[in-house]
């Protein structure tokens, strides 16, 4: 995988994982590939999460174990989501950022478990994953927190239990809209690729159980399952951030550029890396 793609993936995972834990609980996330660490095989990735700990190096192992015990459910959920959404991420590690001796820092390693992907995510798990994305990526953080809190109350009351994916997506979208009043904010079920259209290897975009997997580039044909233009894109067509700066200056960051190969087809067919942020 090209380094630019790894860095983009790293930023996305960093935002999502930090949103799953109390503020300051996770310092940073690193995404490593073959050649970065002896444990990583070709075509595989390692996601390394650095947690915030106090005390001296002699206390790191105890602090890491206590942190992992307190967040056991969240760790398992992250491992499962990586297995579903990013299959090349065979290894997930939690460690501390020990600048004095990085190689000696204690680690908790969670390898990929095929059993985790044998069943689709439950309704509550899908809702929790969506709220993590909302908190980490929505343009209005205060409103994101208000909407997430409202949905969590509904989740605790069992309002999302026993729903099929389409009904769950519709209900969750409606509940988010009650707070955010944003028609661009919605939850959709992404259809699986037709047979024979799955691109091979981690460089291509693959899908498992009908869910998009981040990383890589778009395949040759991006039409929907009925041959029509694809609706939306799981990475927001490369637009990663939109801000209003001081002086009422608009600023948007685009990591990918869209080109079309036919003038009469509105859906994207190919994605190319841009040299950097655009204004």
Query: DSSP per residue over 164-209, as a string?
Result: -HHHHHHHHHHHHHHHH--TT----PPPPPPTT-PPPTTTB--EET
What stretch of H or E contains 10?
helix 3-19
Angle at Cα 242 formed by Cα 241 and Cα 245, nearest 5°? 120
Strand-pair partners of 231: none
Nearest in space to 16 (alpha carbons), one of 176, 122, 128? 128
Exposed/middle/buried for residue 243 (C-beta within 10 Å: 0-12, 13-18, 19+): exposed
Nearest in space to 24 (alpha carbons), one of 51, 3, 61? 51
User: pLDDT tens digits, the chain, 279 residues: what are they?
Assistant: 788 888 989 998 998 888 888 888 899 999 999 999 898 999 899 999 999 877 777 888 898 999 999 998 889 888 988 888 888 999 999 999 876 677 788 999 999 887 777 767 788 888 988 888 888 788 898 999 999 999 999 999 999 998 988 999 999 999 999 999 998 899 988 765 454 444 344 444 333 333 433 333 333 344 444 444 444 455 566 676 788 888 888 887 776 554 444 445 444 434 444 444 444
| Three-state helix/strand/coil letters over 214-234 | CCCECCCCCCCCCCCCCCCCC
CB atoms within 10 A of CB 156: 9
Q: Where do the DSSP E strands lie in the chain? A: 26-33, 45-51, 89-96, 107-111, 207-208, 211-212, 239-245, 249-254, 256-259, 270-273
pLDDT at 137: 81
- Phi, psi angle pair for 141, to nearest 5°: -60, -40
* 3-class SS of residue 257: strand
* 3-class SS of residue 40: coil
CB 90 within 8 A of CB 111: yes
pLDDT at 42: 92
Q: What is the pTM of this model?
A: 0.56
pLDDT at 238: 66
Alpha-carbon gap, residue 99 to 120, rounded angstroms: 39
pLDDT at 192: 59
- Phi, psi angle pair for 116, to nearest 5°: -70, -25
């Amino acid at each position: 995988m090209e380094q630019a793609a790894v860095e983009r993936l790293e930023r996305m995972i960093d935002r999502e994982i930090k949103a799953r834990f109390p503020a300051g609980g996770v310092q940073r996330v690193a995404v490593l590939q073959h050649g970065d660490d002896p444990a990583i095989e070709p075509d595989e990735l390692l996601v390394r999460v650095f947690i915030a700990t106090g005390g001296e190096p002699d206390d790191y192992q105890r602090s890491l174990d206590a942190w992992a015990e307190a967040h056991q459910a969240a760790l398992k959920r992250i491992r499962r989501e990586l297995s579903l959404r990013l299959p090349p991420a065979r290894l997930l590690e939690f460690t501390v950022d020990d600048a004095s001796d990085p190689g000696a820092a204690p680690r908790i390693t969670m390898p990929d478990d095929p059993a985790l992907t044998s069943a689709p995510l439950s309704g509550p798990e899908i809702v929790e994953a969506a709220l993590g994305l909302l908190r980490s990526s929505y343009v209005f953080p205060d409103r994101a927190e208000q909407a997430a809190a409202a949905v969590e109350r509904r989740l605790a009351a069992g309002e999302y239990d026993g729903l099929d994916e389409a009904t769950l997506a519709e209900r969750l979208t409606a509940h988010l809209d009650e707070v955010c009043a944003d028609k661009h904010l919605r939850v959709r079920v992404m259809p699986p690729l037709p047979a024979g259209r799955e691109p091979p290897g981690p460089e291509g975009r693959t899908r498992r159980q009908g869910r998009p997997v981040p990383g890589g580039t778009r395949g040759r044909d991006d039409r929907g399952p009925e041959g029509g233009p694809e609706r939306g894109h799981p990475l927001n067509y490369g637009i990663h951030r939109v801000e209003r700066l001081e002086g009422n200056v608009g600023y948007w960051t685009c990591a990918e550029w869209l080109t079309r190969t036919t003038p009469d087809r509105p859906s994207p067919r190919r994605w190319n890396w841009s040299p950097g942020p655009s204004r």
